[in-house]
Structure 1
């Protein structure tokens, strides 16, 4: 008696959905990492520029150069604020898709658990039928010896 899981098609569909959710989640993680790296680069650039400016201020710096640095830092801060918002959005997307992935994972696990229980029941049924068949054969052999 061959084992046939009655929800095999549903399980395969759920596994495919889980794989798709994983791919979407991976893309969201990648976008988050890219945005975070860009933000880190901008913050590092700002820090380096401020360090450079402070070291130059000790030795003396023309007013025009100070204005130029302040203007550049101001524009850099605007860009940093923009990228902070991008990172927040990317993190929210990543968390959303992580939850979706977890839901799909749970669904697949449920169907796999049902399959395991169904297979165990199938195995028990086969053992019972084989035992019953052996009993019938034993009875037939006993009866044929007796005659």
Structure 2
């Protein structure tokens, strides 16, 4: 039974590792979503600005100064987008790494759960076997006592 308690302690350590990995993964997901949302908003702003520019060009209501301003704004958005794309990829890779660690930690906990279950079953089986032997011994002693009377 002492070995089962040791396995429980080891399982608890792995469970704590799993919980820490889950927390890290959740933070990584949150970070990825924040950066990805920034990228999405930048792309959306660029698309909207390009549509406005196109509408003003086709409508003939665009001045050269306004055209230059919009082009400069689109260029700045492009720079922001180009800067955010590697950050998004890095955040995605980190998130995947955290997910793999969380999965590995979960597997470790499951391994110890199964190991504990097996050890407990073995212990219960051995207890039943001991009980059977004791019952056989008692029966034999009672038989011998009855016979000697």
With normalisation by structure 1, the TM-score equals: 0.93
Equivalent residue number for residue 31 of structure 2: 31
For structure 2, the residue ranges without an aligned partner over 5 or more in a row are none
For structure 1, the residue ranges without an aligned partner over 5 or more in a row are none
Equivalent residue number for residue 110 of structure 1: 111
Equivalent residue number for residue 55 of structure 1: 55
Count, aligned residues: 147
Matched residues in 2 for 1:96 and 1:108: separation?
Answer: 19
Superposition pairs for residues 8-87 of structure 1, below 5 Å? 8-60=8-60, 61-87=62-88
Matched residues in 1 for 2:118 and 2:35: separation?
Answer: 45
Matched residues in 2 for 1:26 and 1:96: separation?
Answer: 12
Q: How much has 1:96 moved relative to structure 2?
A: 1.2
With normalisation by structure 2, the TM-score equals: 0.92
Q: How much has 1:91 moved relative to structure 2?
A: 0.4
Query: Secondary structure, in 3 states, of the residue corresponding to 1:6?
Result: helix
Q: How much has 1:144 moved relative to structure 2?
A: 2.0
**1:77-100 residue CA offsets vs partner (Å, 9 max, x unmatched):** 000111111101100111111121
Matched residues in 2 for 1:2 and 1:96: separation?
Answer: 36
User: Which aligned segments of 4 or more residues in structure 1 are displaced greater than 4 angstroms?
Assistant: 1-4
**1:17-48 residue CA offsets vs partner (Å, 9 max, x unmatched):** 11101100110011001111111111111111
RMSD, aligned CA? 1.7
Matched residues in 1 for 2:2 and 2:22: separation?
Answer: 33
Q: Is the 8 A contact 2:4 2:119 kept in 1?
A: no
**1:120-142 residue CA offsets vs partner (Å, 9 max, x unmatched):** 10111011011111111211221
Matched residues in 1 for 2:22 and 2:81: separation?
Answer: 30
